[in-house]
Amino acid sequence: MMSKIFNQTFGFTAAVIAAISVTAYADVPCCTTIVPGNSQTYRLEYSTVTEPVEMKGYKKVVETQYIEENVTTYQTVWETQQRERRYTVARSVPETSMKERRYTVNRPVEETEYRDTSYHVTRLVPETTEREEHYLVSKQVYETQEREILETRRIPVQETTMQERTYTVNRPVTTYVEQMVDRGGYIDSVHVKPGKTYSRLAWQRAEYYDPATGTTRRRLPGFYWTEMEGAPRYEVNKVYQPNYVTQTVPVTNMMQEQRMEQVPVTRTTFREEQTVRTEQVQVPKTIQEEVVRKIPTTTYKQVVEKVEQKTPVTVQRIITEERVENIPVTTYKTVTEERVEPYEVKVAKIVPVTRTVRKPVTREKWVPYTYTIERKRTVVNRIPIDSVVVTSSSPISTEYPAIAPTENNLKIDTKIDPSEIIPTITKP
C-alpha cells in the first residue's frame, strides 16, 4: 500500500513538473545548449510523512444491572400438636342387698259334696198366626236445583332459602410407624462332610482302649480288623442370614372432618285459591211409600220341663297360705366415667417466606470514544545540485530564463484513498 501511495504521489508530481517545464521551455528550439547563468539547479526528493489524527466515534455498550425484588413464596411446615380425645366409659358396679319376698302357697284340700245336676227339657209346640208386614217402596223423582261449586286451585310458588349443609371431608394425616425390615442376604457356609468308613487289617499294640467300659485292656499284639475313616470333604452352600433393621415408615390415614356450607335450596309451595260458580243440576230424589201386606206365619213355642237329679262330687279346695323369706339380690349399677387420652397430630401449615432476589436487567447505551488513525502525505524536498552546462549547436535563448522555485522546500499534497488509511484506535 505504501508503494502504491508513493507511485501515485510521484506520478502526480512528475506530471506537474512536466507541465511547468513544457510551459517554460515551449519556445526553446530543439538541440539548444542551455547554460544557466548564476542560477542554481535543484533535484526533487520525495518522502512520505505519517501524521496521527484523532477521530471521535460512538459504540453500543450493553450494561447488566441487578434490581433487588422481594419475592414471597409459600412453604409447607409440619407442626406437631398435642390433642386430647375425650370419651365416656360405662362401668357396671355390683350392689348386693337383702330383699324380703312374700309369696302365696296354695294347698289343695279335698271335700265330698252333693251337687244339684237337675236339667231342663225343652219341647217345641207349633202355632199358626197371620201378621202384617209394613215395608217401604222407594220411587225416584228428578228435580232441577242450582248449586254452588267451590273450586280450589293450587298455584305453585317457588322460594329460595339458604340452608346449612354439613358434609364430611377426608383429610390425610401422616403418622410415622416403626417397623422391622429384614435386610439380610445369602452368605457362604462351609460344611464338613466326614469321609467314608471302611475296615482293614492294621497292626495294633497290646494295650487298647475299650469304649464300652472306658478302661484300658491288654491283648496280644498283631493284625486286627480296624475301622478306618477317609479324608473329610468340604462343601460350600449358600445360607440366608437375616439382618433385622428398624426403619420409620410414613403411614397416611384419612381423618374425617366436618365442614358446613350455605347451600341455596329452592322450595316449591302451593298457594290455594278458591272460586265459586253456580250451575243447574238434575238431582234425583227418592220418595218412599209405605205398603202393608199379610203373611201367614207358623211359630213354635218352647215348653220347658225340669228334671231333678243330685250327683256326689269330690271337690278339691285350695287353701291359700302366705309365706315370707329373705333373698339376697345383686343389682348392677352403671357408673359413667370420662377418660382423656392424649395423642399427637401433625398439621400442615402454609408459611409465607419472603426473600430478596436480584433480577438482571439489560440496558443499551451509546458511549463516545476516541481513536487515532495515521494519515499519510507526500512531501517534495528541493535539494540543490551542481550547475550543468548544456551545449548545443543552437544558441541559448535568453528570452526564456530558467524557471526555478523561490522556496527551498516545495510541499505537494496528494489525495489519498480513505480505504488505505490505517487507523490507530485508542480506548476512551
What confidence score (pLDDT) does residue 386 get?
Answer: 64
Distance of CA 43 to the CA centre of its chain: 99
Provide, rounded to the nearest whole percent, the portion of the chain with pLDDT above 70.
Answer: 81
Element (H, E) at 14: helix 2-24
Among 142-151, 162-171, 348-357, 388-397, the minimum mean pLDDT is found in 388-397
Mean of per-residue pLDDT scores for the chain: 77
The most confident of 75-84, 185-194, 303-312, by mean pLDDT:
75-84
235-257 residue pLDDT tens: 888 888 888 888 888 888 888 88
30-74 residue pLDDT tens: 333 333 445 678 788 888 888 898 888 888 888 888 888 888 888
Give dist(CA 379, CA 45) in Å, integer.
8
What confidence score (pLDDT) does residue 199 get?
Answer: 87
**Residue 422 pLDDT level (bands cut at 50, 70, 90):** very low
Give dist(CA 57, CA 371) in Å, integer.
8
Among 143-152, 206-215, 290-299, 348-357, the minimum mean pLDDT is found in 206-215
Compute the CA torsion angle 152, 155, 160, 165 (nearest 10 deg): 50
pLDDT at 387 over 50: no
Domain borders along the chain are 2-56+371-424
What confidence score (pLDDT) does residue 135 get?
Answer: 82
Pair 370, 428: CB distance under 8 Å: yes
What confidence score (pLDDT) does residue 320 get?
Answer: 87
What confidence score (pLDDT) does residue 39 get?
Answer: 63
Measured CA distances, 70 to 29, 349, 354, 398 (Å): 100, 22, 6, 100
Nearest to 388 by CA among 109, 97, 29, 39: 39
pLDDT at 113 over 80: yes
Buried b (16+ CB within 10 A) or exposed e, 120-135: eeeeeeeeeeeeeeee
Nearest to 319 by CA among 118, 150, 105: 105
Degrees, nearest 5: CA angle 8-12-14: 115
Q: Is the dihedral of CA 231, 234, 235, 237 positive or negative?
A: positive
Work out the average pLDDT over 287-308. 84
Compute the CA torsion angle 203, 205, 206, 208 (nearest 10 deg): -100
- Model-level pTM greater than 0.85? no
Give dist(CA 166, CA 262) in Å, integer.
9
Among 2-16, 337-351, 363-377, the minimum mean pLDDT is found in 2-16
**Residue 25 pLDDT level (bands cut at 50, 70, 90):** very low
Give dist(CA 10, CA 4) in Å, integer.
10
